Amino acid sequence: MNKGILYGIGAYILWGFFPIYWKLLHNISALQLIGHRIVWSFILLIAVILITGQWTEFRATFSVRVVRIYLIASLLIGVNWLVYIWAVNAGHILETSLGYFINPLLSVLLGLIVMREKLRRAQWIPILIAFTGVVYLTITFGRLPWIALGLAVTFGFYGLTKKLAPLSSLQGLTLETGILLIPALVYLGIVEVNGTGAFLHTGIRADLLMIGAGLVTTIPLLMFASAAKRMPLTMLGVLQYLAPTIQFLIGVFIYKEDFDTTRLIGFSLVWLALIIFWVENYLANRASVEPIPEMGEG
């Protein structure tokens, strides 16, 4: 097994276990956790850039256009992080996993609508099945699964923005967290002044976990970036379902979230859509690389 696959598996497994990490901080508000995630991530990322000698290159990339693109990206990922952490600690891990199961199909639609990419006829089938699953869950829940859709939409548009962005994953996330740094510091300063701040007031364990938010954000990202350079996108696409699968299992078996027949049907429709989508994509890619027989071959 090459290093790329190992890095990819490692990144998605770490992302899959995120709910357990944030559950350890369930008594701290999601806004404060996001603030600390931004601050400590930026500190770690800028340290990596300095240590690896990328500072001059990083500064040279700054322009109005670049900052504008990453301002949009930072707002999208900030909202995504906020919704995710709040949902996990509010007991909605299953719905967060549904969001990341839906996300790849939403990315396909964004490619179709925004990037003017074309879908093969067979690719419409899983999209329609997934849409049916979401509608079914909406009807049976009695409400729109806004957590799942919010995560899928913000991360889908974040991926689209990053596709248009010029920087590497490391430099891009550094700029994104840098853009969010001042608002995060201001907010953390306000809660500290009004006496509701958690950092240094809830015990050493919580303090270390809040500082560790920078590590758990950065390490899987760097592993993912390394994996993307070393392995085919088709394989990386398969691995991406590790994270929501692990999150789903954690929600059901560790935190005992409700998973009745109704949810089973809705999730099964989404899973079926993903299976069809992956199989169709695999067959299409395989057919496109098959060598054309030379004259004389039977």
pLDDT given for residue 160 in this prediction: 83
Which pair of tokens denotes residue 131?
Answer: 């849409």
Q: Which H/E stretch holds residue 294?
A: none
Residue with tokens 């900030």: 78
In this structure, is residue 293 part of a structural domain? no
Of 221, 256, 181, nearest in space to 8 by CA: 221
Question: What angle separates helix 64-89 from helix 169-193, to the nearest 10 degrees?
Answer: 60
Q: Give the span between the Cα atoms of 163 and 226, in whole angstroms.
A: 17
In this structure, is residue 296 part of a structural domain? no
Please write the tens of the pLDDT for every residue from 63-101: 999 999 999 999 999 999 999 999 999 999 999 998 888
Query: Residue 294 pLDDT > 60, yes or no?
Result: no
Place 212 in a pLDDT band, splitting at 50, 70 and 90.
very high
In this structure, is residue 170 part of a structural domain? yes
Q: Which H/E stretch holds residue 26?
A: none
96 with 87: CB under 8 angstroms?
Answer: yes
Which pair of tokens denotes residue 119?
Answer: 């879908």
Query: Residue 293 pLDDT > 50, yes or no?
Result: no
In this structure, is residue 292 part of a structural domain? no
Query: Residue 112 pLDDT > 90, yes or no?
Result: no
Domain total for the chain? 1
In this structure, is residue 259 part of a structural domain? yes
Of 37, 13, 14, nearest in space to 25 by CA: 37
The dihedrals phi and psi of 68, each to the nearest 5 degrees, come to: -65, -45
Place 297 in a pLDDT band, splitting at 50, 70 and 90.
very low
Q: Which domain holds residue 74?
A: 3-287
In this structure, is residue 239 part of a structural domain? yes
For the ranges 92-96, 102-106, 260-264, 266-270, the one whose mean pLDDT is highest: 92-96
Q: What DSSP string runs through 97-146?
A: HHHHHHHHHHHHHHHHHTS-----GGGHHHHHHHHHHHHHHHHHHTS--H
Q: Assign 3-state DSSP to the chain and report helix, strand, coil percentages, each to 5.
A: 80, 0, 20
CB atoms within 10 A of CB 2: 10
111 with 157: CB under 8 angstroms?
Answer: no
Q: What's this model's pTM, rounded to 2 decimal places?
A: 0.85
